[in-house]
């Protein structure tokens, strides 16, 4: 079976982990600091902190945004977000006691519809969550214009949190995600481009926010102080147990050297599909614009009679899946129901096919041949 996902693990990761296990220090320590510095160098951005998962990173970012700007006493704070994503994007909104307001999607990219987003920003908006679906960046210029308009109209600029779980290596106008003035959260979960076993990264627009997050990820305690002072110091703002440990950091460091090659291969396979699936009956390809470069973590297309499409590929040893269920169908968010006609128009056709670093030239040709045969 040609799989949709595979763990990318450098052969030296085991030795790196063993060294940590024998060091006598396996919590948040020197390897976390080393990993963070390597990530600063890679992204070209100094204001970041690692966490134990991207979900924790999103929770932390929302917590910080929610405590930055008070909402009117008679309003309930909302987060504008897309339902087309992993539940890990949206459940932290609920965990922070905030209300979800669904925004429709752009059916040509499966990213959030920025025009619908602009219509829904209100005095109740505490934050905006955007997801770079499959690693293809949202139009961050258009989003910045919408934020500017909102600030002029409402007197405040909502915090933007970019969920970059699919998007390690993606760029917008030549810059890595996280360098466009928003909060960006990356995932280092098992099957991502860059894995640390599990873990995440939060990139902030300024040093003050990063310093605050560094405290809040570990109960609000300043870990730079010695143990004798740390246990006695005051904690002015409570925090969480969201820190990364040296075991995960060692895995991440071992894998960091391979990730550029893996992303490049994903892109090569995606470009092949863009060329060879163009015009195939029953298949609609997503848009690509020259001002951004996708991480191509997934290769998603729209297929007529999706269940038949998936069954046909499975019969020829090719995995295919929608990957994520739209979040607005779940009972725990039933009170937030909204009309989302663009998502409705494509939801039953969304499907992803294998495009990862493990997919060989012969296998990608096989995938194209099977799709071209029909289903």
**Given this chain, do its domains 13-256 and 259-373 carry the same CATH topology?**
no
Domain 13-256 has CATH 3.20.110.10: no
For residue 340, give both structure tokens.
């989302």
3-state secondary structure 267-284: HHHHHHHHHHCCCCCCEE
CATH architecture of 259-373: Alpha-Beta Complex (3.90)
Nearest CA to 188 out of 134, 244, 149, 143 is that of 244
pLDDT in tens, 216-260: 999 999 988 766 456 668 899 999 999 999 999 999 999 999 999
Helix residue ranges, H only, 204-322: 207-216, 227-230, 246-256, 259-276, 306-315
Q: Report how far apart, in Å, the C-alpha atoms of 352 and of each of 107, 125, 337 are.
A: 15, 32, 26
Sign of the CA dihedral running 265, 269, 270, 274 = positive
**Cβ 43 vs Cβ 205: under 8 Å:** no
DSSP strand pairing (159-163 vs 183-187): parallel
pLDDT in tens, the chain (375 residues): 999 999 999 999 999 999 999 999 999 999 999 999 999 999 999 999 999 999 999 999 999 998 765 555 445 899 999 999 999 999 999 999 999 999 999 999 999 999 999 999 999 999 999 999 999 999 999 999 999 999 999 999 999 999 999 999 999 999 999 999 999 999 999 999 999 999 999 999 999 999 999 999 999 999 887 664 566 688 999 999 999 999 999 999 999 999 999 999 999 999 999 999 999 999 999 999 999 999 999 999 999 999 999 999 999 999 999 999 999 999 999 999 999 999 999 999 999 999 999 999 999 999 999 999 999
Residue 225 has what pLDDT?
72
Residue 30 has what pLDDT?
96
pTM of whole model > 0.75?
yes
**Which helix or strand (DSSP H or E) is residue 302 part of?**
strand 299-303
Please tell me whether residue 303 adopts helix, strand or coil conformation: strand
**Which helix or strand (DSSP H or E) is residue 186 part of?**
strand 183-187
DSSP strand pairing (78-81 vs 125-131): parallel
For residue 362, give both structure tokens.
């012969």
* DSSP per-residue string spanning 49-98: EEES-HHHHHHHHHHHHHTTSPPPTTS--EEEE-SSS-HHHHHHHHHTT-
Report DSSP state, residue 316: T
Nearest CA to 181 out of 172, 191, 189, 192 is that of 172
Residue 226 has what pLDDT?
61
142: left (phi over 0), alpha (psi -120 to 50) or beta: alpha
- CA angle, 229 then 48 then 32, to 5°: 60
Residue 73 has what pLDDT?
46
Residue 237 has what pLDDT?
95
Place of tokens 């405040």: 156
Domain boundaries, the chain: 13-256, 259-373
What is the rounded distance in angstroms from the CA atom of residue 306 to the CA atom of residue 375?
A: 9
What is the rounded distance in angstroms from the CA atom of residue 28 to the CA atom of residue 20?
A: 11
Q: Report how far apart, in Å, the C-alpha atoms of 45 and of each of 39, 40, 192, 256, 354 are.
A: 8, 5, 21, 16, 32
For residue 170, give both structure tokens.
């993606």
Residue 66 has what pLDDT?
84
pLDDT in tens, 54-99: 999 999 999 999 876 555 544 589 999 999 999 999 999 999 999 9
Residue 309 has what pLDDT?
98
For residue 211, give both structure tokens.
């310093």
**Tally of CB atoms within 10 A around 194:** 24
- Residues annotated as catalytic (active site), given as ranges: 192
- Indicate the average pLDDT of the chain: 95
């Amino acid at each position: 079976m040609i799989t949709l996902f595979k763990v990318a693990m450098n052969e030296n990761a085991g030795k790196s982990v063993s060294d940590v296990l024998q060091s006598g220090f396996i919590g948040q320590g020197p390897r976390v600091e080393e990993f963070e510095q390597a990530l600063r160098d890679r992204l070209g951005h100094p204001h970041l902190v690692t966490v134990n998962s991207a979900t924790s990173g999103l929770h932390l970012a929302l917590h910080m945004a929610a405590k930055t700007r008070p909402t009117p006493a008679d309003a309930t704070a909302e987060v504008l977000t897309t339902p087309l994503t992993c539940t890990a994007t949206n459940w932290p909104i609920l965990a922070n006691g905030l209300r979800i307001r669904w925004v429709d999607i752009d059916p040509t990219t499966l990213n959030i519809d920025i025009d619908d987003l602009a219509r829904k920003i209100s005095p109740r908006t505490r934050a905006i969550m955007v997801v770079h679906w499959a690693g293809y960046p949202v139009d961050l210029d258009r989003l910045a214009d919408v934020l500017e308009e909102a600030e002029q109209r409402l007197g405040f600029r909502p915090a933007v949190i970019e969920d970059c779980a699919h998007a390690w290596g993606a760029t917008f106008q030549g810059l890595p995600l996280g360098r466009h003035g928003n909060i960006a959260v990356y995932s280092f979960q098992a099957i991502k481009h860059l894995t640390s076993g599990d873990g995440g990264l939060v990139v902030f627009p300024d040093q003050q926010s990063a310093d605050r997050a560094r405290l809040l990820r570990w109960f609000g305690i300043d870990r730079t102080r010695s143990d004798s002072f740390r246990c006695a110091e005051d904690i002015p703002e409570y925090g969480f147990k969201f820190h990364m440990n040296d075991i995960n950091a060692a895995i991440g460091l071992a894998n960091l050297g391979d990730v550029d090659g893996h992303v490049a291969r994903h892109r090569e396979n995606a470009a092949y599909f863009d060329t060879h699936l163009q015009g195939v009956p029953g298949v609609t390809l997503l848009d690509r614009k020259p001002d951004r470069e996708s991480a191509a973590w997934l290769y998603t297309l729209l297929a007529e009679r999706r269940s038949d499409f998936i069954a046909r590929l499975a019969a020829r040893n090719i995995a295919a899946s929608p990957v994520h269920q739209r979040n607005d169908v779940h009972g725990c968010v039933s009170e937030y129901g909204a009309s989302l006609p663009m998502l409705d128009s494509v939801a039953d056709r969304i499907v992803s096919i294998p495009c990862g670093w493990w997919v060989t030239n012969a296998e990608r040709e096989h995938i194209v041949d099977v799709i071209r045969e029909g289903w």
